[in-house]
Structure 1
Amino acid sequence: MAAIPTLYCLASLSQVENTPSSQDGIPQGLEEDLRAYGCKLIQQAGILLDQKQVAVATAQILFHRFWYVSSMKQFSIGDIGMGALYLASKLEECPLRIRDFINVYDLLLQRSEHKSSSSFRYAPMSYFGSTFYDLKDAIVVSEMQILKRLGFNVSVVLPYGTLVNYMQVLGLANNKEAVSQAWGYLNDALQTPVYSIFQVPTIVSAAILLTTRHLNISLPSTRPNCWWELFDAEWDDIWIVCGFIMRLYRERDPAEMMKVVKMVNKTEVRRWLEKQQLEARNQDQNGSATTTTPG
């Protein structure tokens, strides 16, 4: 089993419990949904750009780390996603042409703004207009902010090699369906913050647990012969990671999904926060008026 580098950065308990976004009034559930949507944009951009999965996965992990030191009120998930993928492409030595990168993200951002319209048609930007240069500036600034706020600690450990090793230890390496499904769970987990909270052995063990339960594969699970203890993973931590992953598959209300899509930039996030604050003030005023009115 590969050792986890000491430079691998995980969020502290205080950062997890009290993120900058939550301090600005963004509920935990909404923040998780915004994180997931930002990661989906990164994944979609990677597919359109034919980028390597290692760069896409690295970008998604850096994207999640960023929100433990920064608020969605101050930075747009769209811009930070662009910066994370551009930076990760350099880190994994598969750099992208910035013009191609900007074209793809312009398409994705336009499509997110018209998500409710089935007649969406992409309007290519003019290279002599402001859109191209605005997006170029946003990429450069976002990349700089990620490096600055993470203290240039951009070391990332990806889980795929660890998964292969664990499946061999458990005798499942030749079960193609099990390997494929566990691999998929690891990719889905990139939409959640688990890679910024837990060590890779815990996340891989969670993917294996979900896979074996879905495929009805029996593994030793009674003490003192629990299979996850081979990998120094704690059951409670594995169960938490499974919860993060399974939350992605819940049924979503279309209006709730549309709210998340519209908040791809910080302007919409601030507008939503202002609306919530106004509604809270009105409720307080109405409550005060009710208590002071004679019966």
Structure 2
Amino acid sequence: MSLPHPLLYPLASAAQLAQTPCRADGIPAWLEEDLRAEGCRLIQSAGILLGAPQVVMATAQVLFQRFWYVTSMREFSVSQIAMGALYLASKLEEHIARMRDIINIFDLLLSRLRYSLAHPTAPPESFKYSPMSYYSNEYYTYKDELVIAEMQLLKRLAFNVQVQLPYNTMVNYLNVLGLGRVEGIAQKAWGFLNDALQTPAYAVYPFPTIACAAIHLAAREASVCLPEPPEHEPWWELFDADLEDMEQVCGWVLRLYRRQDEEERELVQNLLLGGRREVRQWLDEVEPKAST
């Protein structure tokens, strides 16, 4: 099977996978993955409130994930890059969101998260949001951060911001396997593709591998046996996928469903809210302990 032009899905190099900029700065792998996932959830929530189509939110999450293979969270704030990725994706997918709307929605989401951390036992409906003034210093700070984030995404990704999503490919694969009409399989696989956006999968593996991993997870959950071709070779080889790569994608997706420790979750949320300053402060506190 001939694959599309490689520019359609630029992937991280072996060196970037072995040592991401975040890990080079001392951020543990589990924390980097959790912050990536939290940033993607922020993009998804903001996109839903904006009324953006799923393709915009998916493209933004892929760009967001790619960014952290060339830059450390010690240099840029997760929430700011998430905001810039959503704004850039809205332009790429020709569903442009107003800068002011993105800023207000991110401020709303971050304010709500800040409130929930300060009042862990308070019911969600007790949160009251007060929009910032259009002429406030806070608004112009947000605006500067959004412009810088978009510029840095373009610069550090070398303007290679094409994104190829695997949704249509996954549906075609199901039809080839004779599972296109099996109840629930396509919906489950579609859901796993959405969940995989919160992982580094789209920045590491080509989309045929991600599509096969989603089918594999959906078939297991629905207890459906995947058919074998006449040659009795593994079905994924029909689509130029590798089992080890598929299992890595499946592992990342399944990790999202684990029960997260409360302390760990609070740390991730505080680092998300505090941005690069909070990340630097945390690293400065952790490094002396590690050395002893």
Q: Deviations over 1:198-229 (max 9, x none)?
A: 01111110000011111110113698331111
1:206 aligned onto 2:207: no
Could you tell me how far apart the structure 2 residues matched to 1:261 and 1:114 are? 11
- Where structure 2 has 5 or more consecutive residues not aligned to the other structure, the ranges are none
How far did 1:2 drift?
A: 8.1
| Poorly superposed stretches of 4+, deviation over 4 Å | none
1:155 aligned onto 2:162: yes
User: Match of 2:286?
Assistant: 276
Aligned counterparts, 1:106-255, within 5 A: 106-116=107-117, 117=119, 118=122, 119-220=126-227, 224-255=232-263
Could you tell me how far apart the structure 2 residues matched to 1:111 and 1:5 are? 42
Could you tell me how far apart the structure 1 residues matched to 2:63 and 2:148 are? 15
How far did 1:37 drift?
A: 0.2
The one-letter code of the counterpart of 2:55 is V
How far did 1:152 drift?
A: 0.3
How far did 1:120 drift?
A: 2.8
User: Match of 1:257?
Assistant: 265
Could you tell me how far apart the structure 2 residues matched to 1:6 and 1:198 are? 11
Cα 1:221–1:112, aligned 2, differ >3 Å: closer, same or farther? farther
User: Match of 1:42?
Assistant: 43
User: Match of 1:292?
Assistant: none
The one-letter code of the counterpart of 2:239 is F
How far did 1:53 drift?
A: 0.6
Q: Determine what percentage of the aligned residue pairs are the same residue.
A: 53
Q: Deviations over 1:119-174 (max 9, x none)?
A: 43222111221111111111100000000000000011001110110111111111
The one-letter code of the counterpart of 2:80 is D
Report the TM-score, using the length of structure 2 for normalisation.
0.93
Q: Which has the larger radius of gyration?
A: 1
The one-letter code of the counterpart of 2:196 is A
- In the comparison of the two structures, how many residue pairs are matched? 282
How far did 1:66 drift?
A: 0.3
Q: Deviations over 1:252-290 (max 9, x none)?
A: 112211110111111111111011023235xx3xxxxxx
Could you tell me how far apart the structure 1 residues matched to 2:175 and 2:188 are? 15
For the aligned residue pairs, the C-alpha RMSD in angstroms reads 1.5
User: Match of 1:28?
Assistant: 29
Retained in 2: the 8 A contact 1:4–1:157?
A: no
Secondary structure in 2 matching 1:68: coil
How far did 1:80 drift?
A: 0.2
Could you tell me how far apart the structure 2 residues matched to 1:220 and 1:164 are? 16
| Segment drifting more, 3-12 vs 181-190 | 3-12
The one-letter code of the counterpart of 2:16 is Q
Retained in 1: the 8 A contact 2:76–2:276?
A: yes
Could you tell me how far apart the structure 2 residues matched to 1:158 and 1:6 are? 13
Retained in 1: the 8 A contact 2:50–2:101?
A: yes
User: Match of 2:16?
Assistant: 15
Could you tell me how far apart the structure 2 residues matched to 1:22 and 1:226 are? 36
Secondary structure in 2 matching 1:218: coil
Secondary structure in 2 matching 1:263: helix
Retained in 2: the 8 A contact 1:182–1:207?
A: yes
Retained in 1: the 8 A contact 2:177–2:227?
A: no
User: Match of 2:77?
Assistant: 76
- Where structure 1 has 5 or more consecutive residues not aligned to the other structure, the ranges are 285-295
Could you tell me how far apart the structure 2 residues matched to 1:77 and 1:4 are? 31
Retained in 2: the 8 A contact 1:66–1:146?
A: yes
Could you tell me how far apart the structure 2 residues matched to 1:48 and 1:107 are? 10
Could you tell me how far apart the structure 2 residues matched to 1:111 and 1:176 are? 38
Retained in 2: the 8 A contact 1:115–1:258?
A: no
